[in-house]
Amino acid sequence: MGDRHHQDLNGAYYGPSIPPPRKVSHSHGRGGGGCCGCIGDCLGCCGCCILSVIFNILITIAILLAIAALIIWLIFRPNAIKFHVTDAKLTQFTLGADNNLRYNLDLNFTIRNPNRRIGVYYDQIEVRGYYGDERFGSSNVAPFYQGHKNTTEVGSKLEGQGLVVLNGGDRKDLDEDLKSGIYRIDAKLRLRVRFKFGLIKSWRFRPKVRCDLKVPLGSSNVTSGFQFQRTKCDIDF
């Protein structure tokens, strides 16, 4: 009987199949992945996912704004504003031994907006007078709005006195200008402007305008035969 039992154990087995053992898996969280596996897990799991979502939203907004700005530029094709000094009258420009400069300068500008669909708000225009590297005076122009394809004339008066200390090169230039009666003066404009595209208004820009002038003093315009020439200004956005 032992032999028979031994033969049964070594023979083929035709019973039901034996299922394989189960593998025990350990998962953390409802998503089965990391704590940042989905947006739904962010609020209850970790703050890193929230920061990632906010960052992606900001990137998307920045891209959309850049695309919108490009579309607006392609539609309106803005052209640069043009500044000219059309007239300048200098009736006093005297530097005393105490480095006190007395000056009286009248300037007339034309501002041209060549754009057909863009208006310009000039929220601030400050005109500054320079001799060499030294500023000697300033004045402000009243704010205004400039429409499409429009040319606006504005005037500015620099008058008064103040301490101006010139270096050796500028002092030499002043001596030469005193002899010729023609003064090399720079007019610099500091602006705050906004552009209007239909119903849309842009943020403020702060362009800088520089005008290199040669202005005759008083009667020098008659005695020397020199007349002030209309001067184009450089603009830098």
Report yes or no: 145 and 122 within 8 Å, Cβ to Cβ.
yes
Token reading at 217:
């003093």
111: nearest Cα among 155, 157, 159:
155
In a 10 Å sphere around its CB, with 0-12 CB exposed, 13-18 middle and 19+ buried, how is residue 115 labelled?
buried
| CB under 8 A, 24+ apart: contacts of 178-183 | 180/220, 180/224, 181/216, 181/217, 181/220, 181/223, 181/224, 181/226, 182/214, 182/215, 182/216, 182/217, 182/220, 182/224, 182/226, 183/90, 183/93, 183/131, 183/214, 183/215, 183/216, 183/217
pTM above 0.85, yes or no: no
Cα–chain center distance at 17: 78
pLDDT digits (tens, 9 = 90+) for 141-182: 999 999 999 999 999 999 999 999 999 999 999 999 999 999
Percent of the chain beyond pLDDT 90?
60
The dihedral sign for the CA sequence 42, 44, 45, 50: positive
| Rounded distance between C-alpha atoms, residue 189 and residue 109, angstroms | 11
Residue at token pair 């089965």: 32
| Rounded distance between C-alpha atoms, residue 66 and residue 231, angstroms | 36
126: which strand partners? 140, 190
| Rounded distance between C-alpha atoms, residue 37 and residue 41, angstroms | 7
| Rounded distance between C-alpha atoms, residue 30 and residue 42, angstroms | 12
Residues of the chain with pLDDT under 50: 1-2, 4-13, 26-36, 39, 223
pLDDT at 75: 63
What are the residue ranges spanned by the domains of the chain? 48-77, 82-236
- Identify the CATH class of 82-236: mainly beta
pLDDT at 117: 86
pLDDT at 33: 46
pLDDT digits (tens, 9 = 90+) for 21-43: 565 554 444 444 444 455 455 55
